[in-house]
Structure 1
Amino acid sequence: MEKLEEQIAHLTKTVEDLSDVIARQDTDIALLQRRVQMLLEREADREAAGGGGVVIGDERPPHY
């Protein structure tokens, strides 16, 4: 019986540790999602402002 109690205590501690890790990861993921969204919006604003210097197809670069 004592061995089972030790195993339950160990498993309970492991579950609590994993729960803490998952909660921390959830916070990190939410922060990263906000940052990615901000970067996407910033890039969309940059493209809308005409700041994109991407050469498409056979277009000559502006220095020609």
Structure 2
Amino acid sequence: MTDKADRTTVIEERLAELMHTVEDLSATVARQDREIDRLTARVERLMRREAEREAEGSGGVVLGDERPPHY
């Protein structure tokens, strides 16, 4: 009967470890979901701001290797 009890103990320990791992992974996924939501909202705000800037016709960034529009 000791062998069966030992096997049961090992199984219970591994199950506890797996449950702990699942809880950790769940917390990680929840944290990443919040971060994705935050970043998505930020990108949407930036896109809106850029669209407004383009609609106004101002705020263009001239890069060093680009010719100005009057050339």
With the shorter chain as reference, the TM-score category is 0.7 to 0.9
CA RMSD, Structure 1 to Structure 2 (Å): 2.1
Give the % identical residues: 58
Shift of 1:51: 0.9
Give the Cα separation in 2 of the matches to 1:33 and 1:62. Answer: 33
Query: Where does residue 4 of structure 1 map in the other structure?
Result: 11
The amino acid across from 1:40 in the alignment is M
The counterpart of 2:42, out of the listed 35, 41, 48, is: 35
SS at match of 1:61: coil
Question: Across the two proteins, how many residue pairs are aligned to each other?
Answer: 60
**Which protein is richer in helix relative to its size?**
2
Residue 26 of structure 2 corresponds to residue 19 of structure 1: yes
Query: Where does residue 4 of structure 2 map in the other structure?
Result: none
Give the Cα separation in 1 of the matches to 2:60 and 2:30. Answer: 42
Unpaired runs of 5+ in structure 2? 1-7
Shift of 1:62: 4.9
